[in-house]
Amino acid sequence: MPVAGRRAYERVSLWERLKRSEHAYGFAFVAPLIFGLLVFTYGPVLAALGLSFVEGDYISISRWVGLGNYGRAFRDELFWRSLVNTTYYVIGTVPVGMALSLALAIAMNQELRGIVFYRAIFFLPTITSAVAISLMWAWMYNPEFGVINSILKMLGIKGPMWLASPRWALPAIMIMSVWRGLGYNMLLFLAGLQGIPKEFYEAAEIDGAGAWRKFLHVTFPLLSPTTFMIAILSVIGGFQVFEYSYVMTRGGPLYSTLTVVLLIYQRAFETFEMGYASALAYILFFIILVLTLIQFRGQSRWVHYEL
Amino acid sequence: MGALRAVDGASVQPSRRATARPYRSLRKAITSIIAKVIAYLLISITAITMIFPFYWMVSSSLKTEVEIFLVPPKWLPIPPQWNNYVYVFQQVNFGRYTYNSLKLGVLWTLGVILSSSWAAYGFARVRFWGRDTLFIITLAAMMIPGQVTMIPMFLLMNKIGWVNTHYPLWVPAWFGSAFGIFLMRQYFLTIPQELCDSAKIDGCTHFGIFWRIMMPLSKPALASLALLSFMGSWNNLLGPVIYLYDESLFTLPLGLTRFSGMYVTYWAYTMAGATITVIPILIVFIFTQQYFVRGVVLSGLKG
């Protein structure tokens, strides 16, 4: 009998057996993904590493330069300039943007009427393309005829040249960026706030805690996973800023708004130095990775996951 | 804890609580009113700040070339110069750009939701060799900035003759997006396993379970993913800037960038162009706000 049973099993065709195998099904479901990961993600990641060691345009690779591209970046004043600009942008926008959106989320979390309406308004800049946003702000920032300087003039203040001034161009872009990100971060904070059980506040009230101490000892610790996540996303996103400078200033005046990604774009697709551009992209990748790791390392000091 | 203590207090010391209550609740009521007034003030000021640039864009787009340069500015565009829009449509092919943006948005979105939920089903409901490792590799892909893969991708697209076509801007979406897979897998895991088991007993294969049970039950998650994907594609600038040269292939953001470059000082026309690109996504947003909101909250969870 066991022999017969075995024969019956062998008679089942390979196709039938495949159809019954979970492994085959699993592979069928992830096959497109594996292809995509190889061709569109990990393949290009390795290729970019290889390209960062050569010199060449899009027609041919001219020569192997080893770490030469990285050395060149180290000596490249424009690269340092873009790195300083981008760091300044991140330091200037992330904490301010997070504080403002947290305040707004706490306000939105009071049981008020018309929340859905306000939420839609706050979210408007997020769904609008960066190009349209940049153009409308570029017009508002116009030194002579822009509405911002007109309002400042009515208040008796002589407004700066904004995008035309090396000193004010980057702050102008940063103000716009904080304005644009407010609704998105507010929404994430609001979701976090609504996840805090009401009992914690009731308990704190019974213990005699006022509004500030409730914020400090209940809201802030229980919201810390959300805060942490927004900080990570904002820093990663901030280092990849590109569109605002590309549309509004092209990196000028005097490279005051040149960001790392704009420089990578210019080297890759305007001066066609793809080896050098790949090296710059890898340096950016490394910076983002290190900053993310530092934030993950530091989270044990202030992020509380237990409820 | 708090609830328990409150119950205790009420039952053990009823008299003390009864006397203390009016004071406490009066103070509480005043604090709550003050909090609400501050909240409304903050929300209203922010709302005005959010709306004003949009108002100014539309208002400027309806002014004459003289009105737009008035100092102090003219706050209302009266009479509105609708001809600005006619002129913009005559000068620039915004109809064509809108069609291209729509086409790419639809193809990209369909690709993301179908391929991501396809792979997500594998991760959520099939046990196969190397599954968890592959999932981690997929999630790790989210960490890689697009700028790193951008140059080799361009070389690849150049080699197969896809530069200056729409293919690079939608085909990759059909092979799964890491974020979409993560989102759909999380959603699939909340669907009871028993449903799939009984379907399996009725002779349903994994493909049948995926298409007839999981997909119809996942409509909210699919809607959120679809909207986020569509928004990403609709507003994408870097991709079209790199791959598209022919004006007939331009998308709205790229067309608007080039247009504003040509009409640097013609702010009324530039603002009309910007308004044209904002309106379609605004209409989509008004009708689908709840899915957008849910999608954003979910997108934040990936961190």
Task: Report residue B23's pLDDT band, with 50, 70 and 90 as the boundaries.
Answer: low
Residues A26, A102 within the same domain: no
In a domain, A257, yes or no: yes
DSSP summary character for residue A212: H
The tens digit of pLDDT for each residue in B223-259 reads 888 988 998 898 899 999 999 999 999 999 999 998 8
Hey, what amino acid is at B161?
G
CA B111 vs. chain centroid, Å, equals 16
Which residue from A19, A27, A58 is facing B158, i.e. has the nearest CB? A58
Q: Bin B192: left if φ > 0, else alpha if -120 < ψ < 50, else beta.
A: beta
**Range with the lowest mean pLDDT among B21-35, B177-191, B208-222, B269-283?**
B21-35
In a domain, A14, yes or no: yes
Q: Is A300 exposed, middle or buried (0-12, 13-18, 19+ CB in 10 A)?
A: exposed
Q: So what's the pLDDT on residue B186?
A: 86
Mutate to test the interface with A, among B33, B94, B148, B252 (most CBs of A within 10 A): B148
Total count of domains within chain A: 2
Question: What would the two tokens of residue A88 be?
Answer: 């300044």
In a domain, A12, yes or no: yes
SS3 of residue A237 by DSSP: helix
Residue A113 clears pLDDT 60, i.e. is over it = yes
Residue A91 clears pLDDT 50, i.e. is over it = yes
Q: So what's the pLDDT on residue A235?
A: 92
Residues A183, A273 within the same domain: yes
Kind and range of the H or E element at B149?
helix B146-159
- Which of A168, A171, A186, A32 has its CA nearest to residue A97? A186
Cα→Cα distances A100→A107, A148, A182, B300, Å = 11, 21, 7, 18
| A53 interface with B at CB cutoff 8 Å | no
Mean pLDDT taken over chain A: 87
| A29 interface with B at CB cutoff 8 Å | yes
CB pairs under 8 A between A and B: 302
Task: Report residue B5's pLDDT band, with 50, 70 and 90 as the boundaries.
Answer: very low
Residues A112, A43 within the same domain: no
Residues A183, A46 within the same domain: no
The answer to whether B100 and B166 have CB atoms below 8 angstroms apart is: yes
Cα→Cα distances B4→A207, B7, B8, B79, Å = 14, 5, 6, 66
Task: Report residue A68's pLDDT band, with 50, 70 and 90 as the boundaries.
Answer: confident
Cα→Cα distances B198→A18, A47, A104, B193, B203, Å = 22, 47, 48, 9, 9
Task: Render B233-299 in DSSP notation, one character per residue.
Answer: HHH--HHHHHH--SGGG--HHHHHHHHHHHTTT-HHHHHHHHHHHHHHHHHHHHHHHHHHHHHHHHH
Residue B297 clears pLDDT 80, i.e. is over it = no
The answer to whether B134 and B122 have CB atoms below 8 angstroms apart is: no
φ and ψ of A62, to 5 deg? -90, -45
Residues A83, A21 within the same domain: no
CB-CB neighbors (< 8 A) of B42 in chain A: 103-104, 107
The rounded radius of gyration (Å) of the Cα atoms in chain B is 27
Residues A42, A147 within the same domain: no
Mean pLDDT taken over chain B: 84
CB-CB neighbors (< 8 A) of B46 in chain A: 104, 122, 182
**Range with the lowest mean pLDDT among A37-46, A166-175, B59-68?**
B59-68
DSSP summary character for residue A217: I
The CA distance from A245 to A130, in Å, is 10
Query: Which domain, by its residues, includes A18?
Result: 2-51
In a domain, A64, yes or no: no
In a domain, A138, yes or no: yes
ipTM: 0.86
In a domain, A129, yes or no: yes
Determine how many CB atoms are found less than 10 A away from the CB of residue A71: 12
Residues A92, A176 within the same domain: yes
* Alpha-helical runs (H) found in chain A: 2-11, 14-20, 22-36, 43-51, 68-75, 77-109, 115-127, 130-140, 147-154, 169-194, 198-206, 211-214, 220-239, 243-248, 260-269, 274-302
The tens digit of pLDDT for each residue in B148-158 reads 999 999 999 99
Nearest chain B residue (CA) to A145: B69
In a domain, A61, yes or no: no
> What is the arithmetic mean of pLDDT over B179-183?
90
Enumerate residues 6+ apart whose C-beta is below 8 A from A86. A238, A239, A241, A259, A260
Which residue from A107, A188, A292 is facing B300, i.e. has the nearest CB? A188
> What is the arithmetic mean of pLDDT over A10-39?
81
Residues A143, A246 within the same domain: yes
Looking at residue A125, which CATH number applies to its domain?
Answer: 1.10.3720.10
Mutate to test the interface with B, among A18, A117, A128 (most CBs of B within 10 A): A128
Task: Report residue B120's pLDDT band, with 50, 70 and 90 as the boundaries.
Answer: very high
Residues A168, A241 within the same domain: yes
* Percentage of chain B lying above the pLDDT 70 cut: 90
Residues A173, A261 within the same domain: yes
Residues A223, A170 within the same domain: yes
Kind and range of the H or E element at A54?
strand A54-56
Q: So what's the pLDDT on residue A9?
A: 53
Most confident of B17-26, B34-43, B89-98, B111-120: B111-120
The answer to whether B59 and A130 have CB atoms below 8 angstroms apart is: no
In a domain, A273, yes or no: yes
The alpha-carbon gap from A286 to the nearest alpha carbon of chain B, in Å, equals 10
Residues A122, A194 within the same domain: yes
Determine how many CB atoms are found less than 10 A away from the CB of residue B6: 16
In A, residues 59-118, which contact B (CB 8 Å cutoff)?
103-104, 106-108, 110, 112, 116, 118
Residue A94 clears pLDDT 50, i.e. is over it = yes
Which residue from A48, A147, A187 is facing B152, i.e. has the nearest CB? A48
**Range with the lowest mean pLDDT among A171-185, A235-249, B103-117, B263-277?**
B263-277
Nearest chain B residue (CA) to A191: B297
